[in-house]
Amino acid sequence: MANEREWENYDLVVVGSGFFGLTVAERAATQLGKRVLVLERRPHIGGNAYSEAEPETGIEIHKYGAHLFHTSNERVWEYVNQFTDFTDYQHRVFAMHKGTAYQFPMGLGLVNQFFGRYYSPDEAKKLIAEQSAEIATEDATNLEEKAISLIGRPLYEAFVRDYTAKQWQTDPKNLPAENITRLPVRYTFNNRYFNDTHEGLPVEGYTAWLENMAADEKIDVVLDTDWFEVRDAVRAASPDAPVVYTGPLDRYFDYSEGKLGWRTLDFETEVLETGDFQGTPVMNYNDAEFDYTRIHEFRHFHPERKNYPKDKTVIMREYSRFAEGDDEPYYPINTPDDREMLTRYRELADAETENAKVLFGGRLGTYQYLDMHMAIGAALSMFDNKVSPLLGG
């Protein structure tokens, strides 16, 4: 048992083996020659980025929902290419509405499909301006009104209203207007989902990439281990080691200021007796009649892999709801009450950093949604500005 083992002395302790934690661990080991202990409560490395082969088909699935790597940060791109090569995959999404698959995000392709004729860029801009004039953005009092003020009622009702209600389990009329800051319509036929300079998927998969980050012999990864069950023993064995904590911020302080609100995701994976179910990696289901928000078909993420079966495919339906109890937190809800709690937790975290050399990072440790490249970039900055000085770098 992890809580009964004899812990060695380490220079740095990292709680959590997602991209943030592994980036800090890798830098400390390879750049400063420090011994690093990485503790992970799950039975596998990598946090939500973990991927594995579906046993019946061998098709690589992303266990916690689709992960698409993209970045315009040159430092991050140079860093990650030390551990994996990338395919030339470009992410494209389609949206199912009333039995028709539309190009997504909203652009000229969707506008022309939805309204049934060709609109030039100028004509489409005029159309959306006319439809969104129903409500002035500054007068919007809820999410529905805000969305209509940005894209007009027809597009809102078809592609935003029911999808948002499924995501939040709440009528958009009862959600705050500030939940939407932007709702862009592209006035081109470019339907690439991301506009970053670099985009692709790891050639050998996410788990291989993550394992390469932790491959240095000075890094010890211990799985199936809850930090709060072993904290006293680990700190006693490594009294001078700073701690980089990437778990839930409120959990660290025993929810003393209340529980921060999160949305969680449920996944339903199925093997189908067909070589291709939907013809694309991700299909959004925007209508209320479907209780899931989207379906992933993982064979389409790696069309270059010739070993996938031709008569079977793996799909994953994704459901969204509020997180409760021990549910895995995915997206911060960030209500006004959450933001007030977060301010108080940040004050406690600052004191913990000063008094106990505990640094808080990552999605859970900072209560913010971070794409993979953002987590890696933030970890590199933390290593440079905080961890390295603490370790004498």
Give the residue numbers annotated as catalytic, written as ranges: 182, 186, 263, 294, 318, 369, 371
214: helix, strand or coil: coil
Q: Strands, DSSP E only, in 98-145?
A: 100-104
Length of the chain as a residue count: 393
Cα–Cα distance, 95 to 164 (Å, whole number): 13
How far apart CA 378 and CA 381 sit, in angstroms, is: 5
192, with CB counted inside 10 A (0-12, 13-18, 19+), is: middle
Q: Which two tokens stand for residue 85?
A: 């090569």
- Supply φ then ψ for residue 219, to 5 degrees: -105, 125
Helix (H) or strand (E) holding 351: helix 336-356
Give yes or no for a cis peptide into 105 (omega within 30° of 0): yes
Cα–Cα dist 249/298, whole Å: 32
Whether the CB-CB separation of 79 and 69 falls below 8 Å is answered with: no
Identify the helix (H) or strand (E) that includes residue 302. none
DSSP type of residue 367: T
**Half-sphere exposure of residue 267, counting CA atoms within 13 Å on the CB side?**
17
Residues 6+ apart with CB under 8 A from 121: 108, 187, 188
